[in-house]
Structure 1
Amino acid sequence: MKKRVLVFPCGSVPGIDINFALRDCLRIELFGGSSVADHGSFVYKNYIGDIPNINEECFIERFNQIIEYYKINFIIPTHDTVALFLMENQTLLNAIVVCSEVETTRICRHKALIYETFKGYDFNPIVYNNINTIDTYPVFLKPNMGQGGRNSYVAHDFEELNFYMHRSKDLIICEYLPGDEITIDCFTDKNSKLRYFSPRIRQQTFNGISSKSHILEKDEELLNIVRQINDKLSFRGYWFIQLKKDTNGNFKLLEISTRVAGTACLSRNLDVNFPYLAVLDFSNEEIDITPNNYSIEIDRTLISRYKIGIEYDRVYIDFDDTLVFNNSMYNKFMFMFIYQCLNNNKEIILITKHEKDIYMTLQELKIDKNIFKEIIHITNNDYKYKYLSQEKPCIFIDNSYVERKHVRENLDIPSFDLNNIECLIDWRG
């Protein structure tokens, strides 16, 4: 029987990455849920909207109703505050929260508790509890419960420090760390054994998430830090830490989190699937972690996903310079769309002015003719709109503007060029 997993909230970067980590796992049926309309509805086939905010009095009751209705077995929280709330209320919930134990999650949510817990450890940064004791500037200020570097400041002197401290009452004052910043993704099993750690450099960040990163070599200094943290706290499943080098080149602790990191997909692409491993571990199954051994880096940019207000059961599609370029190169994106259509039982009709025998060309290019419900081969001086039937709702795809214009003007059928096929791709899974 498949394990039913609810990712909540599902529209964040970690939530989207978890979708791609779990959507094709044969043993999992994936659900995404959010309290506000977000990007999750564009990628989760099983999307649950309008979940109450965790601060609402009705949350537990309503959340349990959702859990029972969809028969959810496991909940994966993607935000630190949500993770802590769910762990604090685990006994009231009718599904297992995939997260470290509650006291560890509480400590990791508050930087003041983190630094107090690791007071005296070499990797713990200097924390100033009294502004009058600061004798070295600059200093770094960050919120006790923040994440991703938001609302953090560098104060170069007492006047700047005083300004920021009056601006926010929840700031922690730490030594300034000018060196490289890294994240270490970790996995600890049900027996509290550290099974995996993977350091990566945070070369660029966008909204607190690494937008450019690559895997680093593991060394004894990093392993020693991870082991000490793992021995001190009670982790289970995925977790991560962030470190930054001080003026002497030594790594100091920035934060710890018990959720999946925003760029843990780097490890997933080494075949270390943290969300899936965690679900197996919380199912009390034995896990094995044997990553690939190759260099890998990530560079993120914004990606666009669309919802389009048309329904269609048939697709008319051109061949030359649409499906195939120069009779030799496949349009990968177009084939992605074609197989999406076949998955959804939509007819594909090839309509072409190909100069050669189209069946022979398909055979030479190893394209199965049975992909197409029908193949319409017309002469070069003819117009395609004449051969389109409207007995079923349909769309038309062709790189020729003239052909698209004729189809729109004569038949009022939605017509697409290659550059706007992306709005037809369904990313939900």
Structure 2
Amino acid sequence: MKKLNVLVFPCGAENAGEIAQALRYSVHVNRLIGLSSCEDHGRFHFNDYVGDAPYIDAADFAAWFTDFLATQQIDVIFATHDTVCEKLAPLVARFGCYLVNGDAQTTRIARRKSLTWELFKDQSWAPRCYGQDEQPAQWPVIVKPDCGQGGNGVALAHNQAELAERVKNTPMPLIVEYLPGKEITVDCFTDRHGKLIWVGPRTRERVRAGIAMRSESVTADEKITAIAEQINKRLKMRGPWFFQLKQNSLQEWKLLEISCRIAGTMVAQRARGVNLPLMALHDFMNRDIVPLVTPHVDYIDRAIRTRAHTTLPYRSVYIDLDDTLIIKGQANPVVMAFIYQSRSEGKRIFLLTRHEYEPLASLENAAISSRLFDEIIHLQAGEKKSLSVTGPAIFIDNFFPERLDVAQYDDVLVLDVDAVDFYIK
């Protein structure tokens, strides 16, 4: 099986960091490369980092970028900004590698709220828009830039004089009805067959610089799901994407925007077991995807790093050996940190493995003490790990079929290797 060279561009933003966290332990990734046009935080997200790319509006960008794709043998690209995604879509299409959600027509429409709202103007959830010479039917109204994001440049106008001032000071201004109600983001995933396989609404409880710092999962009811299905039907999606809804005074959902990129707070889905960036790689490899959602996480809260809160009062931790505890012959420092943390809290630690060699020798070679474990359970080929797991417990394994089998137990929280960091205090 070929391992993939994955490019994240630009790589310094919050959502780029989420992609890095989501993919850093994947056995399907050969190189995870961060690319930026300036020195930024991407250097801390990506060990494989390039910070001197031309800006996308530079005359030499297209030639430089296509040469970079060829020399680095890039298979998959994540664009982390809407404008970058629109810019790369026709360029990458000619080159031949895969840009996640990179359909040229879709990226163009999604980048502009005016085109988005025009496409869905026949839907009841499309917001009421006004021309610049049109008298609003009701005050106040919102003025926002056509190509804005993260709430930047959004202004409220209570009368005609304020409206004229807001329009004058807003680039590519749009005038739209004021929506005073609740706001949600809906994370979605469309597979290579055009099938919408994930709809995950979440709240925006506490927002800083347009980024939701606390987010709680919301049920995808019939109305929200119908909106997602309609968007997926009219736009060509493949991979992770999201849209935002806000309620009017009658508590009816109205569309704010659609985006073809990973959202920074898509980490809320990963905390629940749905790793959207990794799903994009599996879809690229022509694999069918089944989201495996844990019922034991109710919200995330963010500061500098992300933590997940579990409602499960677990007493034991079961950990796989190969590509989980030991990766490329070295101890996984995050998993090791979790083991020590769990021991200090009085949890029982079990090493559960079908390792082809003697586990004690492999542990010693990786400088891991066998005394960390209450028991080392060495299974033979064909023996199910699920038969050795007793809840309430946490089960950590990089292999999806193992997690899927153990997930049958309601009192076991199953984690891929990338998710362990959520539980480091």
TM norm structure 2: 0.71
Q: Is the 8 A contact 1:143 1:170 kept in 2?
A: yes
Question: Given the alignment of the two structures, is residue 59 of structure 1 paired with residue 61 of structure 2, yes or no?
Answer: yes
2:204 partner SS: strand
C-alpha displacement at 1:329, in angstroms?
4.2
C-alpha displacement at 1:74, in angstroms?
1.1
C-alpha displacement at 1:67, in angstroms?
1.9
Identical aligned pairs, as a percentage? 38
Instruction: Give the corresponding residue for 1:238.
Output: 240
Seen in structure 2, the aligned counterparts of structure 1 residues 169 and 83 have a Cα distance that, compared at 3 Å, is closer
- Across the two proteins, how many residue pairs are aligned to each other? 326
Instruction: Give the corresponding residue for 2:276.
Output: 274
Q: Is the 8 A contact 1:98 1:279 kept in 2?
A: no
Seen in structure 2, the aligned counterparts of structure 1 residues 100 and 60 have a Cα distance that, compared at 3 Å, is closer
Listed one character per residue, the Cα deviations across residues 368-398 of structure 1 (whole Å, up to 9, x for unaligned) are xxxxxxxxxxxxxxxxxxxxxxxxxxxxxxx
- For the residues of structure 2 that align with 1:301 and 1:202, how far apart are their CA atoms? 14
- For the residues of structure 2 that align with 1:218 and 1:277, how far apart are their CA atoms? 20
C-alpha displacement at 1:285, in angstroms?
2.6
Instruction: Give the corresponding residue for 2:231.
Output: 229
Question: Given the alignment of the two structures, is residue 210 of structure 1 paired with residue 212 of structure 2, yes or no?
Answer: yes
> Which of 129, 143, 146 does residue 144 from structure 1 map onto?
146
Instruction: Give the corresponding residue for 1:133.
Output: 135
- For the residues of structure 1 that align with 2:102 and 2:38, how far apart are their CA atoms? 26
Question: Given the alignment of the two structures, is residue 49 of structure 1 paired with residue 43 of structure 2, yes or no?
Answer: no
Instruction: Give the corresponding residue for 1:193.
Output: 195
C-alpha displacement at 1:95, in angstroms?
2.6
Report the residue type matching 1:119 in the other structure: K
Q: Is the 8 A contact 1:187 1:238 kept in 2?
A: yes
Q: Is the 8 A contact 1:60 1:93 kept in 2?
A: no
Question: Given the alignment of the two structures, is residue 20 of structure 1 paired with residue 16 of structure 2, yes or no?
Answer: no
C-alpha displacement at 1:131, in angstroms?
4.0
Seen in structure 2, the aligned counterparts of structure 1 residues 107 and 365 have a Cα distance that, compared at 3 Å, is closer
Question: Given the alignment of the two structures, is residue 248 of structure 1 paired with residue 254 of structure 2, yes or no?
Answer: no
- For the residues of structure 2 that align with 1:146 and 1:11, how far apart are their CA atoms? 19
Instruction: Give the corresponding residue for 1:124.
Output: 126
TM norm structure 1: 0.70
> Which of 278, 289, 292 does residue 291 from structure 2 map onto?
289
Instruction: Give the corresponding residue for 1:394.
Output: none
- For the residues of structure 1 that align with 2:209 and 2:293, how far apart are their CA atoms? 29
| CA RMSD after TM alignment | 3.0
C-alpha displacement at 1:162, in angstroms?
0.9
Report the residue type matching 1:75 in the other structure: I
Question: Given the alignment of the two structures, is residue 157 of structure 1 paired with residue 159 of structure 2, yes or no?
Answer: yes
- For the residues of structure 2 that align with 1:364 and 1:73, how far apart are their CA atoms? 42
Instruction: Give the corresponding residue for 2:91.
Output: 89
Instruction: Give the corresponding residue for 2:3.
Output: 2
Instruction: Give the corresponding residue for 2:12.
Output: 11
Q: Is the 8 A contact 2:86 2:102 kept in 1?
A: no
- For the residues of structure 2 that align with 1:214 and 1:200, how far apart are their CA atoms? 5
> Which of 186, 189, 200 does residue 184 from structure 1 map onto?
186
Seen in structure 2, the aligned counterparts of structure 1 residues 292 and 138 have a Cα distance that, compared at 3 Å, is same
1:263 partner SS: helix
Seen in structure 2, the aligned counterparts of structure 1 residues 177 and 13 have a Cα distance that, compared at 3 Å, is same
- For the residues of structure 2 that align with 1:57 and 1:28, how far apart are their CA atoms? 32
1:241 partner SS: strand
C-alpha displacement at 1:282, in angstroms?
2.4
Q: Is the 8 A contact 1:67 1:94 kept in 2?
A: no
- For the residues of structure 1 that align with 2:246 and 2:171, how far apart are their CA atoms? 25
Listed one character per residue, the Cα deviations across residues 343-376 of structure 1 (whole Å, up to 9, x for unaligned) are xx9999xxxxxxxxxxxxx998879xxxxxxxxx
Listed one character per residue, the Cα deviations across residues 246-291 of structure 1 (whole Å, up to 9, x for unaligned) are 0100000000001011211111122211111112222333222232
Seen in structure 2, the aligned counterparts of structure 1 residues 152 and 366 have a Cα distance that, compared at 3 Å, is same
Instruction: Give the corresponding residue for 2:106.
Output: 104
**Bigger shift: 270-279 or 250-259?**
270-279
Please identify runs of 4+ aligned residues in structure 1 that moved more than 4 A: 345-348, 362-367
Larger of the two Rg values belongs to structure: 1
Report the residue type matching 2:25 in the other structure: D
Report the residue type matching 1:9 in the other structure: P
- For the residues of structure 2 that align with 1:44 and 1:243, how far apart are their CA atoms? 33
Listed one character per residue, the Cα deviations across residues 124-144 of structure 1 (whole Å, up to 9, x for unaligned) are 000001443213110011110
Seen in structure 2, the aligned counterparts of structure 1 residues 365 and 194 have a Cα distance that, compared at 3 Å, is closer
C-alpha displacement at 1:51, in angstroms?
1.1
> Which of 261, 264, 267 does residue 266 from structure 2 map onto?
264
Structure 1 alignment gaps of length 5 or more:
305-323, 331-344, 349-361, 368-429
Q: Is the 8 A contact 2:153 2:170 kept in 1?
A: no
Q: Is the 8 A contact 1:64 1:94 kept in 2?
A: no
